[in-house]
Amino acid sequence: MVIDAALANGVHAAFEFSAIALGAAMYRRALREQGQGSPLDHRNFTVLAGLLLGAAIGNKAVFLVERPDVWQRLLAGEWLLPGQSIVGGLLGGLIGVELAKWRSGQTRSTGDALVRPLVAGIALGRVGCFIAGLHDDTYGLPTGLPWGVDLGDGVRRHPSPLYEIVVLSMLGSVLHAQRERLAAVPGLQFKLFLAAYLLWRLVGDALKPVRDPYPLGLSGIQWVCLVALALYLPLVWRAGHRLLPKASPA
């Protein structure tokens, strides 16, 4: 599969915008289904603004962690550089939402409505990553497995974006099947999604080339996932523990 850089960037951008549009439409629908009104309602808009601002900052920040060489280009005055990180977008968006809720005095959980839009949006975006091939940083390491894909350099590689689509489909299906049970603890569905996605990226990115290795040979994104999981899993455990049946007094 050979595709030139200009076409690759165009295709990738088209899928990115389509993923954003799909996610936005599904988010509006999820809010209506949960009786939370429109995204433009005051409370929802405050959360949405925090989400978008946090995600915008986070996806660039983690990309710079992954690609420290880009700092040199930034210092040279190249401000409009391509490159972003879904992991950074998710973590930045989470921080942005929590800050927005704290600032506006909201205590309600808001993440569950985002799970299906995120699953669908990320999966659709990964189609663009796969088509972009070697022009995108998501391609995999060489492999002798029968489903390895030649992206144009004569080397059969792990189709890492397709792996992620499969993982997201499985994760989304499980969470959807358990949605009624998980709804007993508002916010738990999102916590499980985020923790599972971070774990997948920690493991799955081992099948991708590491351009700028950090300690233990891990990539910058893998280290971000590792630190985020260490901080976030206790919150997931506490939320999940609320689903367990309470013991009756003796």
Answer yes or no: pTM beyond 0.75.
yes
Q: Are 174 and 153 in contact (CB under 8 A)?
A: no
Q: Are 58 and 224 in contact (CB under 8 A)?
A: no
Beta-strand runs (E) in the chain: 149-150, 156-157
CA angle 44, 103, 240 (to 5 degrees): 70
Q: Are 118 and 176 in contact (CB under 8 A)?
A: no
From the number of C-beta atoms within 10 Å of its C-beta (0-12, 13-18, 19+), residue 126 rates as buried
Extents of the domains making up the chain: 5-241
Each residue's pLDDT, cut to its tens digit, for the chain (250 residues) gives: 556 667 777 877 888 888 888 888 888 888 888 777 777 777 778 888 898 899 999 998 999 899 888 877 777 766 666 678 999 999 999 999 999 988 888 888 888 989 999 999 999 999 999 988 888 888 999 999 999 999 888 999 999 999 999 999 999 999 999 999 999 999 999 999 999 999 999 999 999 999 899 999 999 999 999 999 999 999 999 999 888 776 445 5
